Every structure is written in structure tokens, then in C-alpha cells.
């Protein structure tokens, strides 16, 4: 499964917000600079996440964006579904009368992979991912999403 740049950038931003959850608001400009993300594209992603109630925003000095709820309460599957769309995680439907054996095999494998990915995304919180990133950063390895 390949995630779009939109989803990759959104997850990268959300990990930064999870890391900064206790400190308050982050400005989009700062986040864009830190993560080397295109500013306009990032703003569009943050707007989507704000409308979906994953982020809240504040205008003015000391403003920016922050998580609207604790990172433990946000599952990666929710973020991916919002940014990527539900199509990504849909299983293929069988067409038994016209499906060849090889096509059936591919559909079965795809179904198993989709279910495994869905399980990981639906059981991994944003806090879990942020902790894994922090642990890898401390050990000298950088983890890129």
C-alpha cells in the first residue's frame, strides 16, 4: 500500500503536533520549515485536519495549530481515512462467474494485506507512533514517514 504525499505529510505533521501536545500551538510556517514540507500544501492539509476536528487553530500571536484531543485518542486509521479516502482500505469484490483462478488468488492476497494494514492503523494511536519516532531518534536513527 502506498500512501499519497498528502497522507504522508499529514502524518508527519500530526506526529509533530503529538510531540508538541503539552507545549501548545505550533505555527504552520515553523512546521513547514522543520519538516521540509511545501507551505501551501501543508496549509491545505492542516485545514482538512482542522475541519475534521483533529486540530484546532488560533489566529494571532501565540497562535497556530494544535491537536484538538490527546494523541492517545487519535488512531492512525482515522487520519489516513480522512486524508486518503475510504477507497484505500476497501477490499476488492469477487466476480465468481468471470474471475480466473489467478485473479482470485490476487484478490485473496490483497484482502489479507488490506485487513492487516487496517488492523495496524486502527490499533495504533498517534501517541504510539510519536513514541516510536522519539525512541528511534534517541537511538541515533531517524525515522521518516
Each residue's pLDDT tens digit, 16-48: 999 999 998 999 999 999 999 999 999 999 999
| Any domain includes 40 | yes
Is the predicted pLDDT of residue 145 greater than 60, yes or no?
A: no
- Considering the domain boundaries, does residue 145 fall inside one? no
- The domain tally of the chain equals 1
E strand residue ranges, the chain: 55-58, 64-67
pLDDT at residue 76 is higher than 90: yes
Q: Count the neighbouring beta carbons within 10 Å of the beta carbon of residue 56.
A: 14
Residue 121: inside a domain: yes
Domain of 38? Answer: 5-138
- Say which CATH number the domain at 11 has: 1.10.10.10
Are 54 and 79 contacting, i.e. CB atoms less than 8 angstroms apart? yes
Structure confidence at residue 71 (pLDDT): 97
Domain for residue 143, yes or no?
no
Average pLDDT over residues 70-84: 95
In a domain, 89, yes or no: yes
Query: Can you read off the three cell numbers belonging to residue 23?
Result: 507545549
Tell whether pTM > 0.85.
no
For residue 57, give the 3-state DSSP assignment.
strand
Amino acid at each position: 500500500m502506498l500512501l499519497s504525499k498528502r497522507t504522508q505529510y499529514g502524518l508527519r505533521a500530526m506526529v509533530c503536533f503529538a510531540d508538541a501536545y503539552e507545549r501548545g500551538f505550533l505555527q504552520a510556517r515553523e512546521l513547514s520549515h522543520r519538516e521540509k514540507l511545501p507551505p501551501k500544501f501543508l496549509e491545505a492539509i492542516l485545514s482538512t485536519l482542522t475541519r475534521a476536528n483533529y486540530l484546532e487553530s488560533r489566529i494571532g500571536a501565540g497562535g497556530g495549530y494544535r491537536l484538538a484531543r490527546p494523541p492517545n485518542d487519535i488512531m492512525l486509521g482515522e487520519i489516513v481515512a480522512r486524508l486518503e479516502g475510504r477507497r484505500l482500505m476497501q477490499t476488492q469484490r469477487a466476480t465468481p462467474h468471470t474471475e480466473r483462478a489467478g485473479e482470485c488468488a490476487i484478490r485473496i492476497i490483497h484482502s489479507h494485506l488490506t485487513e492487516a494494514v487496517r488492523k495496524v492503523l486502527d490499533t495504533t494511536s498517534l501517541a504510539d507512533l510519536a513514541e516510536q519516532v522519539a525512541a528511534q531518534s534517541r537511538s541515533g536513527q531517524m525515522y521518516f514517514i
